[in-house]
Amino acid sequence: MKKFILLISLIIFSVSAFQMKAFADPDYEILYAQSQEADFKFMHDVDPYQDEDNFKYAWSPYLLFRSSSTLTFKSSTIPAGYYLLTPREHKGKFWILFKERGKVVYTIPVLETQVVPPDFYKTHVPKPKKSGWKKLGDGIGQVFYTIFKSSKKQNPPPAFIEFERYEGNHYLMKYYYGKTVYITLFRVE
């Protein structure tokens, strides 16, 4: 009987240890070493789907990212500045496009994609505090928008970006866009 209980507990422990290893964070250093830089360029440095997004959404669907440090991904050095970040899929791989004045300046590969947790945007994204007049104006504007809706443009998907320090001078960028998280790794100088 003791052997049977020991055997059952050993099986349960090994299964739980296997599950914990399966759900552990991947080693981004290995993914970084295995990733390759972009071997393609867009014609005239213009994102081919940019116009489609501008016609589809009521305002720009991409985050304006301000970098105060120089970011490096292998041989690509992204100087400090303002960039529009756009996630795109090209030939089965995901890429993050850094745009400046409507032109694609840098194309960085995504190391991993994940699914955004269901209440992430409600719990993590800060909401601006509005005065009473601003709330009233937004309410009246929303009423007029529903009555006189002349365009079929929709609101863009929610987006959020966060950086985490990752072993030494590396930073993990998590770009939440809609229902997907795009993860990449940068060296910061």
Q: Does 20 reside within a domain? A: no
Task: Give 11-25 pLDDT, tens digit per residue.
Answer: 655 555 444 444 456
Q: Shortest CA distance to 120 belongs to which of 90, 74, 77, 160?
A: 160
Q: What is the pLDDT of residue 135?
A: 87
Burial 111-128 (b: 16+ CB within 10 A, else e): bbeeebeeeebeeeeeee
Rounded mean pLDDT of the chain? Answer: 82
On whether residue 119 sits in a domain, the answer given is yes
Q: Is residue 9 part of a domain?
A: no
Domain that holds residue 128: 26-188
Residue 8 lies inside a defined structural domain of this protein: no
Report pLDDT digits (tens) over 129-170.
Answer: 889 898 898 888 778 777 776 667 788 899 999 988 887 788
The answer to whether residue 92 is domain-embedded is yes
What pLDDT, on the 0 to 100 scale, is given for residue 4? Answer: 54
Whether 153 is in a domain gets the answer yes
* Domain membership flag for residue 34: yes
Counting the structural domains of the chain, the total is: 1
Summarised one tens digit per residue, pLDDT across range 55-68 is 888 788 888 999 88
Residues near 73 by Cβ (< 8 Å), separated by ≥ 6? 37, 108, 109, 184, 185, 186, 187
Is the residue at 13 inside a domain?
no
**Structure tokens belonging to residue 124:** 């993590």
Alpha helices in the chain (DSSP H): 2-22, 28-34, 50-56, 120-124, 132-147
pTM: 0.76
> pLDDT for 67-86, tens place per residue?
888 999 988 899 999 999 99
Residues 6+ apart with CB under 8 A from 105: 45, 78, 83, 98, 99
